[in-house]
Structure 1
Amino acid sequence: MNIHWLDITIIIVYLVGITALGCYSGRGSASSSSSYFLAGRSLRWPMIGLALFATNISTVHLIGLAASGYDQGMVVGNFEWLAPFLLILLGLVFAPFYFRSKISTLPEYVEGRYGPGARTVLAIMGVIGALFIHIGVTLYAGAVVFQSFVDIDIIWSILIISALTLIYTALGGLKAVVVTEAVQTVTLLFGSGAVAIFAFMALGDSGITSLSELKEAVKPDQLSMVRTEGEYSWYAMALGYPILGIWYWCSDQTIVQRVLGAETERDAQLGPIFAGFIKILPVLFMVLPGVIAYVLFKEQIADNKDATLVIMIQELLPIGLQGIVVAGLLAALMSTVAGGLNSTATLVSIDIIKRVRPDTEDKKLVFYGRVTVAIVLLLAISWSTQGEKFGGIFEGINQMIAVLAPPISAVFIWGIFWARGTATAALWTLIGGFACGILVFCLDFPAVSGLFMGYDANGDAIRFFTDHMGIPFMLQAWWLFVISSAILVVVSYLTPEPDREIVARYCWKSPMMVLTEKPISGVTDPRIMSLALVVVMVICYAFFL
């Protein structure tokens, strides 16, 4: 597509502007490690909520949710509408301990709860997760969008976007990342909302004016959030998503670092709940338009489902607005990549270098953090070129999460509710669970499984667990969690009981204390806001059953 000069101008102005804003807002952050990595612990709940959403909603989501809506239907929206329940878990269960212990990283919390061995392993897993999941695949997705509008080779697209993100992330630290994420969230929602509005308008122009007519025009159950079979069946989602979500929303440094930078405990709790309310929108702004695209553009999209959003932008939006929407797509990419880079810098500086050299000065830690950002970005650029081998961007990133999350989720959820869990058990759970996850990933990653299992008549790699064993990736996550939990429980009972006084600083004495520890402080109490969010989610689900 030959994009109009006005749209090109809007995109360039936005990219330059957001880079300048990041550099300006992050000035002075290098004065100390706390300022650079945690924004001086000055973040209030609205900023935390917006930043959580922006880091989560990457270009992978924008492209992937529309593509999956076109291909699978509204059922994929469960990835968005189940997230608020996990954000409530973050706000009510995990955030109080994170804030009270004044940790800088989640591996630091794990050391307090379990010991230094588990901390080291978790830090390594955190860097791997940021490198492969948050940054690598996101760069590929953004480059696909950029290449769709501008005739630039995909490698150059990746390099241009990476360079701009590197500038303000390396210079300004978390403060620069969070401020730009707040702006990018608004841009992102405006752009995706515009696509949704124009899609509904085009639907009316095509003669479909009611929900019943739309149901007749789409695939069976394409407008339903609930399936009884397949990889997105209700039981697969009910068992698998919490495992992915506990890691992603409650124990992943890239996401939770915004909570660690909170000014007060109330900010640390309300920020995630606010993000939970915003998470309602992607289903309406991204998944539902993908369903509509099936009605309007199925001949143009055909089997290339990842082109759904790009074709909708090209076909539905006027000149000028196209540039704003593409800027929103790039904003989503930059915010996720920036968050991933900042978290890896924090993990390497605080959990590795600071522990190896305890006397390292603050400014040296910031320097090492900046070097880490550059190195990790180069590695992510190399990995991002493999994005096309997943068969679908959104599916690919969730498959990676499904094999990384289970051991971490087991260590955190058992650790915060079960005082008997021991340091040795946590260490073996992380190592053993991660090893099992790598094995599953290799046997189901097309680039690898094709070498072992061969290819079918269509030339697609045969995946061992998904195709041969009939275990979709959501249930793979569940069974890996069961294995990890079994390791933790068995080894805990085979090793000496931990010091109860130490564990009490990092573990709830009773699950009910989450709700009863303090009196209700008013309508804006995190528990009241959580209840309101649950009610809203029940209403949303009732509409799309």
Structure 2
Amino acid sequence: MNIHWIDLVIVVAYLVGITAIGCYSGRKSSESSSSYFLASRSIRWPTVGLALFATNISTVHLIGLAASGYDQGMVVGNFEWLAPFLLIVLGLVFAPFYFRTKISTLPEYIEGRFGPRSRTVLAIMAVVGALFIHIGVTLYAGAVVFQSFVDLDIIWSILIISGLTLLYTAIGGLKAVVVTEAIQTVILILGAGAIAFFAFDALGDRGITSLEGLKAAAKPDQLSMIRTEGDFAWYAMLLGYPVLGIWYWCSDQTIVQRVLGAKTERDAQLGPIFAGFIKILPVLFMVLPGVIGYVLFKDIIAENKDATLVVMIQQLLPVGLRGIVVAGLLAALMSTVAGALNSTATLVSIDIVKRIKPDTDDKKLVSIGRGTVAVVLLLAIAWSTQGERFGGIFEGINQMIAVLAPPISTVFIWGIFWKRGTSAASFWTLIGGFALGAVVFCLDFPAVSGLFLGYNEAGEPARMFTENWGMPFMMQAWWLFAICSGLFVTISFLTPKPNPEDIEKYCWQSPLQVLFEKRITGISDPRSLSLILIAVMVVCYVVFA
């Protein structure tokens, strides 16, 4: 065991406490499907914002951002600082339609805009995304942390964490998820802040007391947010990130379900914008400490970049605080897995079972949702054992998003802004884009690509895109989006125009309507706060560019 008994007591107390809180807060959620899946649409904007952040910042981010900061530098922080712009899009562009149409799932919105066939396909894609991206890789990342402190086989680490998360998620539904997420966000931020504080303090002990001194000790350009070449070149981020972000922040059930449970339209809009302000912190609390980890511990970490955060916890933090930080890591894991499990249960119960058997009563839907949580978790546990094949946790999860997101982002963007988009275009874009993305992923995933493409001179599986074509995953996302958009527009013009009544209910009449539909009421208006958030982000980029 590589953890002091005091820290272990803190971690165990946290796990027991958060499980108890989750079960207690959601004890009445099984009374109706609306209560179980959407918390009776009672969530206010602070909780929406905190829950959005907690679901997003998983152990994958905590480990992956530190590892990428150690390896690539501050440029990886663009994934965090571009997110507020997409959260503004969620709050101003998508949330009004989601709230006004009173949908329970995003496939339900797509059915209203494009018909039942597209809803079915999107529901399946959403379940795949939750299973492989939100839950599977996150469980692996959490197990890596747990195994670093307690001498357990990785599968036992996964099973212990999974069992506790399953307990309160299955019992309490979305209410339990958002209450625990709000608590976990606070713990997570405090833990990450503690690592950053002690990392800066350790720099002083090494005689590094200025930004220039840190730059001199780090790799060239490791502290720069802007690159002109490589996987994270500015043009790749500018073209590729919106494709990933529209899916992740605006059309992924796991994330947006918190907005669907908002009490009012204002809560649905302010929650994402509040989350946008919180998203400023990970660059300073997670990426920058990774850079410092390179300066302080590169001899210890060496090539094992995913160990960066664990090494910093073990080397920098005192007893007691170390337990709180490890609890924060587990908080990040449990919040993401819980949110993904709840959204998957909602998709299966509402978008599949309820449509096949419309007379299914609420109690039966809740039971099916609970069963779905258990089945999906078992499948995710099996997939999580493949985590070491990604070559890096953060890179692995983004490679999967880069091939899943383009068709979904295409359908949502064109669907909400372009009145001519048709149901046939949506259906075939989702089918074709999903199939093309699956092929790209298989040709670029080492465990599969070696079977098709053979092995290189070093004995490593050959990859079609990152090796032969040298195409960063962000550019893969952009070109897949361009192909899907071309397919969507072409089929739309070849098929009859959609029903005008559906267009009026599910589509903006013009892009400017987003900004000028209503009169701005003051500083607390979502549009005013969005402008403030944009200004803050511009300042952040000026400082770190």
TM-score scaled to structure 1, two decimals? 0.99
CA distance in 2, matches of 1:173, 1:113: 28
- CA displacement at 1:466 relative to structure 2: 1.1
CA distance in 2, matches of 1:378, 1:499: 42
- CA displacement at 1:451 relative to structure 2: 2.0
- Identity over the aligned pairs, expressed in percent? 78
Provide the aligned length of Structure 1 versus Structure 2.
545
Q: In the alignment, which residue of structure 2 is the partner of 1:206?
A: 206
CA distance in 1, matches of 2:508, 2:181: 33
Taking the TM superposition and a 5 Å limit, the aligned residue runs for 1:42-53 are 42-53=42-53
CA distance in 1, matches of 2:332, 2:238: 28
CA distance in 1, matches of 2:500, 2:488: 18
Q: In the alignment, which residue of structure 1 is the partner of 2:93?
A: 93
Q: In the alignment, which residue of structure 2 is the partner of 1:486?
A: 486
Q: In the alignment, which residue of structure 1 is the partner of 2:174?
A: 174
Q: In the alignment, which residue of structure 2 is the partner of 1:440?
A: 440
Q: In the alignment, which residue of structure 2 is the partner of 1:454?
A: 454
- CA displacement at 1:310 relative to structure 2: 0.2
Q: Is 1:183 equivalent to 2:190 in the alignment?
A: no
SS of the counterpart of 1:505?
Answer: helix
Q: In the alignment, which residue of structure 1 is the partner of 2:467?
A: 467
Residue pair 2:198, 2:317 contacting (<8 A) in 1 also:
yes
Q: In the alignment, which residue of structure 1 is the partner of 2:277?
A: 277
Q: In the alignment, which residue of structure 1 is the partner of 2:192?
A: 192
The one-character-per-residue Cα deviations of 1:181-203 (angstroms, maximum 9, x if unpaired) are: 00000000000000000000000
Q: In the alignment, which residue of structure 1 is the partner of 2:228?
A: 228
Q: In the alignment, which residue of structure 1 is the partner of 2:535?
A: 535
Residue pair 2:94, 2:250 contacting (<8 A) in 1 also:
yes
The one-character-per-residue Cα deviations of 1:116-174 (angstroms, maximum 9, x if unpaired) are: 00000000000000000000000000000000000011000000000000000000000
CA distance in 2, matches of 1:150, 1:144: 10
- CA displacement at 1:459 relative to structure 2: 3.4
Amino acid at match of 1:479: W
- CA displacement at 1:522 relative to structure 2: 1.2
Q: In the alignment, which residue of structure 2 is the partner of 1:384?
A: 384
CA distance in 1, matches of 2:474, 2:460: 21
SS of the counterpart of 2:496?
Answer: coil
Q: In the alignment, which residue of structure 2 is the partner of 1:312?
A: 312
SS of the counterpart of 2:228?
Answer: coil
CA distance in 1, matches of 2:483, 2:143: 37
Residue pair 2:2, 2:148 contacting (<8 A) in 1 also:
no
CA distance in 1, matches of 2:488, 2:450: 33
CA distance in 1, matches of 2:499, 2:453: 49
CA distance in 1, matches of 2:53, 2:495: 41
Q: Is 1:23 equivalent to 2:23 in the alignment?
A: yes
CA distance in 1, matches of 2:464, 2:498: 40
CA distance in 2, matches of 1:459, 1:274: 48
SS of the counterpart of 1:504?
Answer: helix
CA distance in 2, matches of 1:349, 1:268: 23
Q: In the alignment, which residue of structure 2 is the partner of 1:504?
A: 504
Taking the TM superposition and a 5 Å limit, the aligned residue runs for 1:90-489 are 90-489=90-489
Residue pair 2:191, 2:325 contacting (<8 A) in 1 also:
yes
CA distance in 2, matches of 1:207, 1:436: 52
The one-character-per-residue Cα deviations of 1:54-75 (angstroms, maximum 9, x if unpaired) are: 0000000000000000000000
CA distance in 2, matches of 1:38, 1:83: 24
Q: In the alignment, which residue of structure 1 is the partner of 2:63?
A: 63
Amino acid at match of 2:524: T
- CA displacement at 1:106 relative to structure 2: 0.1
Q: In the alignment, which residue of structure 1 is the partner of 2:34?
A: 34
CA distance in 1, matches of 2:499, 2:372: 36
Amino acid at match of 2:346: T
- CA displacement at 1:454 relative to structure 2: 2.6
CA distance in 1, matches of 2:287, 2:457: 31
CA distance in 1, matches of 2:207, 2:450: 45
Residue pair 2:83, 2:245 contacting (<8 A) in 1 also:
yes
CA distance in 2, matches of 1:460, 1:309: 27
Amino acid at match of 1:106: L
CA distance in 1, matches of 2:204, 2:464: 45
- CA displacement at 1:462 relative to structure 2: 2.0
CA distance in 2, matches of 1:236, 1:244: 12
Backbone CA RMSD of aligned residues: 0.6
- CA displacement at 1:2 relative to structure 2: 2.3
The one-character-per-residue Cα deviations of 1:386-421 (angstroms, maximum 9, x if unpaired) are: 000000000000000000000000000000000100
Q: In the alignment, which residue of structure 1 is the partner of 2:54?
A: 54
- CA displacement at 1:471 relative to structure 2: 1.1
CA distance in 2, matches of 1:376, 1:293: 36
TM-score scaled to structure 2, two decimals? 0.99
The one-character-per-residue Cα deviations of 1:211-255 (angstroms, maximum 9, x if unpaired) are: 111111111100000000001000000000000000000000000
- CA displacement at 1:504 relative to structure 2: 1.0
SS of the counterpart of 2:343?
Answer: helix
- CA displacement at 1:458 relative to structure 2: 3.5
SS of the counterpart of 1:433?
Answer: helix
- CA displacement at 1:340 relative to structure 2: 0.5
SS of the counterpart of 1:376?
Answer: helix
CA distance in 1, matches of 2:449, 2:66: 27
- My pick for the range that moved more, 446-455 or 349-358, is 446-455
> For structure 2, which runs of at least 5 residues remain unmatched after alignment?
none
CA distance in 1, matches of 2:360, 2:222: 56
- CA displacement at 1:470 relative to structure 2: 1.6
The one-character-per-residue Cα deviations of 1:262-302 (angstroms, maximum 9, x if unpaired) are: 00000000000000000000000000000001100001000
CA distance in 1, matches of 2:409, 2:456: 35
Residue pair 2:442, 2:448 contacting (<8 A) in 1 also:
yes
Which of structure 1's runs of 4+ aligned residues deviate more than 6 A?
Answer: none
The one-character-per-residue Cα deviations of 1:306-337 (angstroms, maximum 9, x if unpaired) are: 00000000000000011000000000000000
CA distance in 1, matches of 2:357, 2:450: 44
The one-character-per-residue Cα deviations of 1:78-121 (angstroms, maximum 9, x if unpaired) are: 00000000000000000000000000000000000000000000
> For structure 1, which runs of at least 5 residues remain unmatched after alignment?
none
Amino acid at match of 2:339: G
The one-character-per-residue Cα deviations of 1:367-403 (angstroms, maximum 9, x if unpaired) are: 0000000000000000000000000000000000000
Q: In the alignment, which residue of structure 2 is the partner of 1:520?
A: 520
CA distance in 1, matches of 2:120, 2:451: 33
